[in-house]
Amino acid sequence: MDSWRTAIVDAGPDHIRVKGFDVLELMQRSSFTDLIFLLHHSRLPSAGERRLVDAILIGVADHGAGAPSCAAARLAASGNRASLSAAVAAGLLTIGDEHGGAGSGCMELIEAGLERAATGGLTFAAAANALVEEARSSGSKLPGFGHRVHSTIDPRVAVLFGLAEQAGLSKDGVRFARALEDAIRDRIKPIPLNIDGALAAVLVDLGFPPPVGRLLFIIGRVAGLCAEVLEEHTREKPMRIKIPVTYDGATAQPVGADPRVGPNDQE
Amino acid sequence: MDSWRTAIVDAGPDHIRVKGFDVLELMQRSSFTDLIFLLHHSRLPSAGERRLVDAILIGVADHGAGAPSCAAARLAASGNRASLSAAVAAGLLTIGDEHGGAGSGCMELIEAGLERAATGGLTFAAAANALVEEARSSGSKLPGFGHRVHSTIDPRVAVLFGLAEQAGLSKDGVRFARALEDAIRDRIKPIPLNIDGALAAVLVDLGFPPPVGRLLFIIGRVAGLCAEVLEEHTREKPMRIKIPVTYDGATAQPVGADPRVGPNDQE
Amino acid sequence: MDSWRTAIVDAGPDHIRVKGFDVLELMQRSSFTDLIFLLHHSRLPSAGERRLVDAILIGVADHGAGAPSCAAARLAASGNRASLSAAVAAGLLTIGDEHGGAGSGCMELIEAGLERAATGGLTFAAAANALVEEARSSGSKLPGFGHRVHSTIDPRVAVLFGLAEQAGLSKDGVRFARALEDAIRDRIKPIPLNIDGALAAVLVDLGFPPPVGRLLFIIGRVAGLCAEVLEEHTREKPMRIKIPVTYDGATAQPVGADPRVGPNDQE
Amino acid sequence: MDSWRTAIVDAGPDHIRVKGFDVLELMQRSSFTDLIFLLHHSRLPSAGERRLVDAILIGVADHGAGAPSCAAARLAASGNRASLSAAVAAGLLTIGDEHGGAGSGCMELIEAGLERAATGGLTFAAAANALVEEARSSGSKLPGFGHRVHSTIDPRVAVLFGLAEQAGLSKDGVRFARALEDAIRDRIKPIPLNIDGALAAVLVDLGFPPPVGRLLFIIGRVAGLCAEVLEEHTREKPMRIKIPVTYDGATAQPVGADPRVGPNDQE
C-alpha cells in the first residue's frame, strides 16, 4: 500500500510537529485557538487574529439543548450510554447547510461578490445588488442571513464586527457582507446578517478558505455537545425522551387479503 | 503496510464471493436474509431458519418516528440535507444497551444460564433463579424484559416463539428465556419478555454469537431509519423541529466582575 | 411541542403497523425484503419485484474489507470496542456520491432522460446522446458507469438485468440505461454500466424515487459492515491498524522565534 | 411533550448565556478554552488553569494522518464529499477506550486510589501498589500507561506536569499518577505514563469529573480531524485509498449444490 501523504502533522516516535511547529513548544507557549488557526495556515496567529477566532468559536459553541445538534446528541446519549463519542458524533451529524453550515456558503458568496466587483470594475454595492438579484430570480437562498431564534438583529454580529474593527482586521469581506445586507434589504426585505454571515465575512478577511466556515462551527459546537451529552448522562435516566407522534397514513390493512403478497417460503 | 486479512469476502476484479459463495449465484437464487445469515455462518440457512431471521428483522425495523433512533435520524435530516447516510448514521448511533442493545446482553445471560445449568447439573428453573437472585442483590439489570411502550406482554414475543416452534427450532435458548421470565415473576414481579429477549432466545438456538443480537437490531432498524429520513426530507421543511427547553441553571452573571477571569490577550 | 407526523408507522401500546400492515402479520407471512419494499410503497411487492430488491441488496452488501466503508468501520472498531453501532455508523458515513451513492444520481439521470424523450418526442437514443453531450461539455460526471475494481464489465449488471427480464419488469428505465451506455461508448469511450447504474435502472422501473438508490445501498451495505466489525473484534487486537504516512509539509520551526506568536497568558 | 431541562445554556430570542455568563461578554473578553472550562464548571478558569487545558487540547489535537481517528475521517472524506460533518464524525467514532479514551479510565483509577488512601489511611505508594496488584492478578488493564508510537517516555507528559507545577496546580492527582507509575515499574515492568495518564492526573487536580478525560480528547482531536478532512478533499481525488486485503476464508462454493439452500420465490 502506498504511503499516505500529509503536510499537516509529522509524527514520529519522539516528536510531533504541526506545520513544522513542535507540539511540546506549542503546549508551553500557545493556546488551543492558536493551534486551530495554525492547522489552516502556515503560521501562528497574531493576538488580534486569535481574538477573532476565539470570538467565533465562543459564538457558536452552544445554542441550548433544543438546537438540532444538541437534541440529537442527547437522544443518542439517552440510548447509547457506552460511547460518549457516539453521542457527540450524532449531534455533529445534524450540521449541514441548514444548521451551522451557512458560514461556508456565505464565504463562497462573499468571495464571488468580491471577484465580481474586481473583475467587473464594480462597486461593492453594485456587485452585491447583482448577486441578490440573481438569487431572487433563481429562487436560491442567500446563506448568512436570518435566524430561527433571533428574529431581529443577532447581537453577536455587532460584537464580532466590533472586535474585527478594533483589531484592524475588518476589510473587504466585512464590507461586502454589509453591502449584501443592504442589497437584500433594498431588493427583498430587511433580513439581517446572522452569526454565520458575520463569521463568514471575518473568516474571508482572515484568509481562510470557505470550508473552514463550517469546520469552525463544528469545532465550536463540539465543545457544547460534549457538555450537553454529559448533562444528559448525569441528570436524566436512559430512554427518558418521549416525542409525541401523530400517524396520518394508511388505515389498518389485512395482510392475508393482499393479492400481491408473495407468501414467505414454506419449510 | 501489511495486508489486512478477512474470511468474509473475497473480492477481485472479476468476482465477489461471500464465505465462498459467488455473489452472482446468490443474487439469482437467494434472498437478502439468506445473505445476512450466511455472513455469520459458513452456510446458507434452511427455510425455517430464514423465516426466523426475517421475523426478527421485521419485528425491529421501525417502532415509529418517536423512537430515539428515528427521532435522531429525523433531527439530523432536518439540518443536514446533503447526506442521507449522515442522517441514517445519527439514528444508528442511539442504539446501545438501552435502545436496541438488550438482545446481546440477554444472549449472554441465556448462555451463562445454560452453562450454569450444564456444569452445575441444575434444572433450568434452578439456574434461572440463581441468575435472577444475583441480579437482584447486585442491582444489575436483566436485559430482555419489560418495554417502554408495551407495558404488558409484547405480542411480538408469542409470534416469534410460535414461528420457532413451528420450524422445530425452539430449543434450550427459548426454554431458558421462559425460565428466566418465571424466575423474575416469582422473585421480583411480573416483567414479561420483550422483543429483545425473544430474539435473543431464538438467536441462541440458531447458533449466533451474542453481538449478533445487537447487529440484527441494527440491520433491521436501518431499514426503518431510511424511510423515516426520506419522509422527513419529503414532507417537512429543514430545521422544522422545535424542542421546548427550560433553563434551571445559574442566574445571569457579569463577566467583568469575576476576579478569576484572565482577560483575553490585548493586541 | 407540536406532535410530529408520519405516514409510515403507527405504533401504540398494543400494536405496530407499517403502512397499515400489522407487524405481527408481516412477521408471520413476509420477508424482510418485503418490508423494505413496503416502507417505500403502499403495498407489498410481487414475487418478481421482491426478487429484484433481494438481488440489489445482495449485490451491494459487501465488497471486501478494503472497501472504504468496510475499512472505516474496521478502524472505528479497532479503537472503539464498546459500541458496535458506532463502528457500523463510521462505515456508513463513507457512503456518498463517490461511494455507493451513484445509484441516486443515475436514477435522476435516467428520469431526466425519459422526460426529455417524452416531452421532446425523441427516441431514447437521441435523448441519451443529448444528455451525454451536455455532461461531456460541462465536465459533469455520469453516475452509474465505470468502477474502481471491475475495470471491465461488471458481471452483476447482466445478472440483475436478466432477473428483471425474467420477471417482466425490465422497462423504460433499463432501456434508457442501455441507451446511455451506447451514447457514452459512441461519444466518449466504452465505459460500461456498473452495479449502481444497473440498480438505478431497475429501481426506476420498480417505481422508487431517486433517493432510494442510495438508501438501498445503505441497507445492503450495513449487513456487510456488521459482519466486518464483528470479525475485526473477534480476530484482531484493538488498535492493530497501521497506516504508513509520509510527511511533506513545512520543515521544523522554532516557536519562540516566530514574531507573530502572541505568547500565552502569564499567570 | 414535557420541556427538557438544562443548566448549561439559557438561549432566548435576544440572549445566550452559558452558566449564566453572557455569550456577548465572553466573545469580547474570553478565549474558547475559557468557555470549554466554564462548560464543566460554574466559573471561568484562572490563567494557570486555562494554560493547562490549552496544553491538553494542543497535546491531543492531531497525531498524524495515520492515527485511527484521522484515517477513518479521511476514508469517509474520500467517499462522501458532500458532508464535512460526516467525515469528521467518522473520525470521532473511532474514539473509545482504546483510542483517546484512556483519560477517563485513568481518572477513575486515580480517584479510586485517592479514595483508597484516604479511607484506609494508606500512603499513596501503598494504595498504588494495591491497585496495581489487583489489576495484575485480574488481568485488567491500567489505562494511562504505554503508547503505540512513543515506546519510551512520552515527552508531552513532562511538559504537562511542568506546566502544572509552575501554575501551582500539581496536587494529589499528579502525585498519585506518579505513584502508580512507580508501582507498575516495581510490580510489572517499566511502563511510563502516557499523555492520557498525564492529562487524567491534571484534570483530577482541576476538579473535572472522569468523563471529561474523554471529552477533552474529543474536543482537541476534532480540531485535527477538521484539518485532515480538508486536506483529503483538497489534495486527493475521491476514492483514492486502497487497502491491501488477503482473503483466508472458505474456498469457492457452488450455491446450487448446497442442500440447505431454500430457493428464492418463483414468480
Report A:46-85 residues touching C (Cβ under 8 A). 46-47, 50, 80, 82-83, 85
CB atoms within 10 A of CB C20: 18
Distance between CA D83 and CA D73 in Å, rounded? Answer: 11
Residue C86: list chain A partners with CB under 8 A.
80, 83, 85-86, 89
Note the Cα C61 to chain centre separation in Å. 10
Instruction: Give ipTM to 2 decimals.
Output: 0.92
Whether residue C251 has pLDDT greater than 80: yes
**C49, C52, C58: best mutation site toward chain B, by most B Cβ within 10 Å?**
C58
pLDDT at C151: 59
D192 CB-side CA count, 13 A: 14
SS3 B210: coil
What is the pLDDT confidence band of residue B80, given thresholds at 50, 70 and 90? Answer: confident
Largest pairwise CA distance in chain A: 79
Backbone angles phi, psi at C12, to 5 degrees: -130, -175
pLDDT at B255: 61
* HEC sequence for chain A: CCCEEECCEEEECCEEEECCEEHHHHHHHCCHHHHHHHCCCCCCCCHHHHHHHHHHHHHHCCCCCCCHHHHHHHHHHHHCCCCHHHHHHHHHCCCECCEECHHHHHHHHHHHHHHHHHHHCCCHHHHHHHHHHHHHHHCCCCCCECCCCCCCCCHHHHHHHHHHHHCCCCCHHHHHHHHHHHHHHHHCCCCCECHHHHHHHHHHHCCCCCHHHHHHHHHHHHHHHHHHHHHHHHHCCCCCCCCCEEECCCCCECCCCCCCCCCCCCC
Whether residue D43 lies within 8 A of chain B, CB to CB, comes out as yes
What is the pLDDT confidence band of residue A258, given thresholds at 50, 70 and 90? Answer: low
Whether residue A259 has pLDDT greater than 50: no
SS3 D221: helix
> pLDDT tens digit string along B44-63?
999 999 999 999 999 999 99
Instruction: Give the range among B145-149, B181-185, C143-147, D132-136 with minimum mean pLDDT.
Output: B145-149
SS3 B195: helix
What is the full DSSP assignment across D73-122? HHHHHHH-TT-HHHHHHHHHTT-BTTBB-HHHHHHHHHHHHHHHHHHHT-
Kindly list the distances between the CA atom of residue B191 and the CA atoms of B147, B152, B185, in Å, as whole numbers in the listed order. Answer: 9, 8, 6
SS3 B109: helix
Distance between CA B67 and CA B217 in Å, rounded? Answer: 13
Cell digits for B192? 414479561
Whether residue B223 has pLDDT greater than 80: yes
> pLDDT tens digit string along A148-176?
555 578 899 999 999 999 999 999 999 99
Q: Do A59 and D35 touch (CB under 8 A)?
A: no
With b for 16 or more beta-carbon neighbours within 10 A and e for fewer, the C83-94 pattern comes to bbbbbbbbbbbb
pLDDT at D266: 32
Q: Which residue has the cell 472550562?
A: D37
Q: Do C81 and D98 touch (CB under 8 A)?
A: yes
* A–B interface: beta-carbon pairs under 8 A: 153
Kindly list the distances between the CA atom of residue B257 and the CA atoms of B134, B260, B261, B263, D27, in Å, as whole numbers in the listed order. Answer: 55, 9, 8, 11, 15
Q: Do B246 and D25 touch (CB under 8 A)?
A: no
pLDDT at B2: 86
Taken in order C217, C219, C225, C227, is the CA torsion positive or negative? Answer: negative
| Bridging pattern class, strands B21-22 and B15-18 | antiparallel
| Bridging pattern class, strands D21-22 and B15-18 | unpaired
Low-confidence ranges of chain D (pLDDT < 70): 147-151, 255-267
Q: Do C4 and A30 touch (CB under 8 A)?
A: no
Distance between CA B178 and CA B160 in Å, rounded? Answer: 13
Distance between CA C193 and CA C170 in Å, rounded? Answer: 16
pLDDT at D151: 59
Distance between CA A74 and CA C88 in Å, rounded? Answer: 20
Whether residue B254 has pLDDT greater than 80: no
Cell digits for B195? 422483543
Q: Which residue has the cell 446533503?
A: B82
**B83, B88, B93: best mutation site toward chain D, by most D Cβ within 10 Å?**
B83
pLDDT at D256: 64
Q: Which of A7, A9, A261 sits opposite C30 (nearest CB)?
A: A261
Q: Do B261 and D8 touch (CB under 8 A)?
A: no
Whether residue D254 lies within 8 A of chain B, CB to CB, comes out as yes
**C9, C99, C261: best mutation site toward chain B, by most B Cβ within 10 Å?**
C9
pLDDT at C54: 98
Whether residue C177 has pLDDT greater than 70: yes
pLDDT at D159: 96
Q: Do D231 and A86 touch (CB under 8 A)?
A: no
Contact of D99 with D90, CB cutoff 8 Å:
no
The mean pLDDT of B244-257, rounded to a whole number, is 84
The mean pLDDT of C216-223, rounded to a whole number, is 97
What is the pLDDT confidence band of residue C261, given thresholds at 50, 70 and 90? Answer: very low
Contact of A103 with A216, CB cutoff 8 Å:
yes
pLDDT at A203: 98
DSSP D253: B
Q: Where are the alpha helices (DSSP H) in chain D?
A: 23-29, 32-38, 47-60, 68-79, 84-92, 102-120, 124-138, 155-166, 172-187, 195-205, 211-235
From first CA to last CA, the distance across chain C in angstroms is 48
| Bridging pattern class, strands A245-247 and D21-22 | unpaired
- Angle, alpha carbons B156-B157-B160 (nearest 5°): 85
pLDDT at A80: 87
Q: Do D255 and B19 touch (CB under 8 A)?
A: no
* pLDDT greater at residue A261 or residue D85: D85
> pLDDT tens digit string along A7-36?
999 998 889 999 999 999 999 999 999 999
β partners of residue A10:
A17
Contact of B80 with B86, CB cutoff 8 Å:
yes
Report A:169-208 residues touching C (Cβ under 8 A). none
**D36, D169, D261, D265: best mutation site toward chain B, by most B Cβ within 10 Å?**
D261
Residue B255: list chain D partners with CB under 8 A.
21-22, 25-26, 29-30, 44
Say if residue A201 is exposed, middle or buried (CB neighbours under 10 Å; 0-12, 13-18, 19+).
Answer: buried
Q: Which of D248, D255, D261 sits opposite B5 (nearest CB)?
A: D248
Mean pLDDT of chain B: 91
pLDDT at D148: 57
Distance between CA D182 and CA D185 in Å, rounded? Answer: 5
Distance between CA B25 and CA B30 in Å, rounded? Answer: 8
Sheet of strand B9-12: strand arrangement: B9-12, B15-18, B21-22
